[in-house]
Amino acid sequence: MSSKWSITLPVEITNLIVNPSAEYGTTGWTAGGGTLTRVASFQRFGAYAFSYTPSATTNDGTYTTVNLTSGVTYTLSGWVYQTALSAISLSFRDSSGTYLLGTVGQTTTSKWLYLSIAYTAVSTATHRLSVNKETSSSTAVVY
């Protein structure tokens, strides 16, 4: 006999990002060569979204910093909306911006993508959590 009921046990999650939502402006986020703003359009949830207009520089993006502990596994995830055919990535980087680990979304335009990556920290230090366009000189907006 199959059951139509199930029980889900919640797992405690701590969000290390001080400002994970554009609801509170862009405080805590740093723009690369482009412009980061808060807009009341293209939001997936809530009243506002982050809008990043990248420079023409390949791999340009925006980031926030968090303190990670060596040996602990962290997950970085989020929704991105691409307005042009350019792959978007979420990545873990060291405090100087050196790439450690990331995931790249499809090169699909006009579509919300959910990206997620898990990383086990190899040092106890400040790290950057980045959203970047990949291998593209596009200056199209990313939300």
Is the pLDDT at 126 greater than 90? The verdict is yes
Q: Which of 38, 41, 35 is nearest to 27 (CA)?
A: 38
Q: What is the pLDDT of residues 36-85, one digit of tens each?
A: 999 998 899 999 999 999 999 988 999 999 999 999 999 999 998 877 76
Q: Would you place residue 12 in the very low, low, confident or very high pLDDT band (cuts 50, 70, 90)?
A: confident
Largest separation between any pair of C-alpha atoms in the chain = 59
Entry field: residues in the chain: 143
pLDDT (mean) for 136-141: 86
Q: What is the pLDDT of residues 84-117, one digit of tens each?
A: 767 888 999 999 999 999 888 766 667 888 899 9
Q: Would you place residue 26 in the very low, low, confident or very high pLDDT band (cuts 50, 70, 90)?
A: very high
CA dihedral 103→105→107→111, nearest 10 degrees, is: -160
Residue type, 136: S
pLDDT given at position 109: 66
Pairwise CA distance, residues 25 & 115, whole Å: 22
Pairwise CA distance, residues 92 & 101, whole Å: 5
